């Protein structure tokens, strides 16, 4: 008797993140669960207090740094490419190119292969392993920048804008808003790559994760804490700070500030304006529209599930490409980057 294997939609549910029934685990659960598999350390993917956590070394280190004892009951690390069986499901973590430790979760169950990509990008990033396209039957993709207006310019171009401003205003302090996990370290390595080897000053909230990246072998060049440095010494310097700090009291003590911000959202002029950003740098850790489409082509999956962002436009695009596509609409994801 021939039994047709169950379709992924019958064994992967979207409750509290993505729930895999035959393995009895959740991927990036939005509330604490018994067994969690975590794609990467950003706050809307990695949350505290799961009883058991499976993730890469890098992701576990980030979770420990952020949550301390609440990182999870039991923490199990998996190397990229290592195959791990949970229940009836084989799991492999594969690089996603998003931030240090970020992984796509490859699930194999009764002949079908599903890839939960988490967040990803396709551009080179010296701070993490590059995205590896995996052939699969169902590809679950993010869509943070899933609209045709989102086309990120070349990274090099954006970093050169910062270096150019620094030459133009050698007396002004350039305070650049960056997310603490990923963007901060990426901007540092990009500056070094463009030949900037001066010390870069860090707001206190960025130091722990920079140390963590260094401990994982990422060379950030000379970085110094801002704390204790006389404001006059920061003239003509680059200071990195969390996005919320660039316009607060702390920043007002700095000399003649140029406020910058490194984010994919800087593509939207009103957003830059609303945040008082004079120097918008369109640098994103997420795939842009063209990269999302290129990725659908690269993985060659006949079926696409879209989550996390502008779902409808990408669903429509996938259908135009002749693929089956659906929006997952999982609650609990924030607008990241």
Could you list the residues that contact Zn ion (CB under 5 A)? 42, 119, 336
Q: Which is nearer to Zn ion, 119 or 291 (CB)?
A: 119
| 8 Å CB contact between 197 and 221 | yes
CA–CA gap between residue 316 and residue 325 (Å, rounded): 8
- For CA atoms 71, 77, 81, 87, the dihedral sign is negative
Taking the complex as a whole, the smallest distance from the CB of residue 181 to Zn ion amounts, in Å, to 8
Token pair for 182: 């990923």
Taking the complex as a whole, the smallest distance from the CB of residue 28 to Zn ion amounts, in Å, to 8
Q: For 26, phi and psi rounded to 5 degrees? A: -110, 145
Q: Which is nearer to Zn ion, 94 or 229 (CB)?
A: 94
Taking the complex as a whole, the smallest distance from the CB of residue 137 to Zn ion amounts, in Å, to 23
Q: Which is nearer to Zn ion, 117 or 246 (CB)?
A: 117
Taking the complex as a whole, the smallest distance from the CB of residue 102 to Zn ion amounts, in Å, to 7
Taking the complex as a whole, the smallest distance from the CB of residue 308 to Zn ion amounts, in Å, to 6
What's the CA dihedral at 318, 95, 7, 300 to 10 degrees? 40
Token pair for 149: 């207006």
Taking the complex as a whole, the smallest distance from the CB of residue 337 to Zn ion amounts, in Å, to 7
3-state secondary structure of 175: strand
Taking the complex as a whole, the smallest distance from the CB of residue 39 to Zn ion amounts, in Å, to 8
Q: Which is nearer to Zn ion, 43 or 231 (CB)?
A: 43
CA–CA gap between residue 120 and residue 168 (Å, rounded): 35
CA–CA gap between residue 158 and residue 180 (Å, rounded): 19
Q: Which is nearer to Zn ion, 17 or 72 (CB)?
A: 17
Q: Which is nearer to Zn ion, 22 or 332 (CB)?
A: 332
For residue 150, is it left (φ>0), alpha (ψ between -120 and 50) or beta?
A: beta
Taking the complex as a whole, the smallest distance from the CB of residue 98 to Zn ion amounts, in Å, to 6
Helix runs in 46-154, H state only: 57-67
Token pair for 300: 């060659």
Sheet with 173-177, edge to edge strand ranges: 223-225, 200-202, 238-241, 173-177, 257-262, 279-281
What's the CA dihedral at 114, 323, 296, 327 to 10 degrees? -70
Q: Which is nearer to Zn ion, 287 or 293 (CB)?
A: 287
Q: Which is nearer to Zn ion, 42 or 113 (CB)?
A: 42
- Find the helix or strand (DSSP H, E) in which 251 lies: helix 249-252
């Amino acid at each position: 008797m021939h039994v047709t294997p169950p379709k992924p939609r019958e064994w992967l549910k979207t409750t509290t993140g993505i729930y895999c029934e035959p393995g009895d685990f959740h991927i990036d659960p939005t509330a604490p669960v018994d067994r969690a598999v975590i794609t990467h350390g950003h706050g809307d993917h990695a949350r505290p207090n799961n009883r058991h956590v499976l993730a890469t070394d890098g992701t576990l280190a980030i979770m420990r740094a952020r949550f301390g004892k609440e990182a999870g009951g039991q923490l199990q690390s998996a190397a990229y490419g290592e195959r791990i069986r949970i229940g009836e499901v084989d799991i492999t973590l594969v690089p996603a190119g998003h931030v240090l430790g970020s992984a796509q979760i490859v699930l194999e169950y009764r002949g079908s292969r599903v890839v939960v990509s988490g967040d990803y990008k396709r551009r080179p990033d010296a701070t993490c392993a590059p995205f590896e396209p995996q052939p699969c039957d169902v590809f679950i993709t993010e869509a943070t920048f899933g609209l045709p207006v989102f086309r990120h310019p070349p990274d090099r171009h954006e970093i050169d804008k910062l270096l150019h401003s620094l030459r133009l205003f050698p007396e002004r302090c350039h305070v650049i808003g960056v997310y603490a996990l990923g963007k901060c370290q990426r901007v540092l390595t990009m500056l070094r790559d463009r030949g900037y080897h001066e010390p870069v000053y860090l707001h206190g909230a960025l130091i722990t994760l920079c140390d963590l990246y260094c401990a994982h072998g990422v060379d950030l060049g000379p970085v110094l804490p801002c704390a204790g440095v006389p404001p006059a010494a920061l003239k003509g310097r680059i200071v990195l700070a969390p996005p919320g700090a660039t316009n607060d009291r702390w920043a007002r003590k700095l000399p003649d500030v140029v406020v910058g911000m490194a984010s994919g959202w800087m593509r939207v002029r009103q957003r830059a304006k609303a945040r008082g950003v004079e120097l918008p740098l369109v640098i994103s850790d997420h795939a842009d529209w063209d990269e999302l489409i290129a990725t659908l082509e690269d993985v060659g999956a006949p079926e696409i599930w879209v989550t996390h962002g502008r779902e409808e436009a990408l669903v429509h695009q996938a259908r135009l490409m002749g693929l089956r596509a659906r929006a997952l609409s999982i609650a609990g994801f924030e607008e990241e980057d």
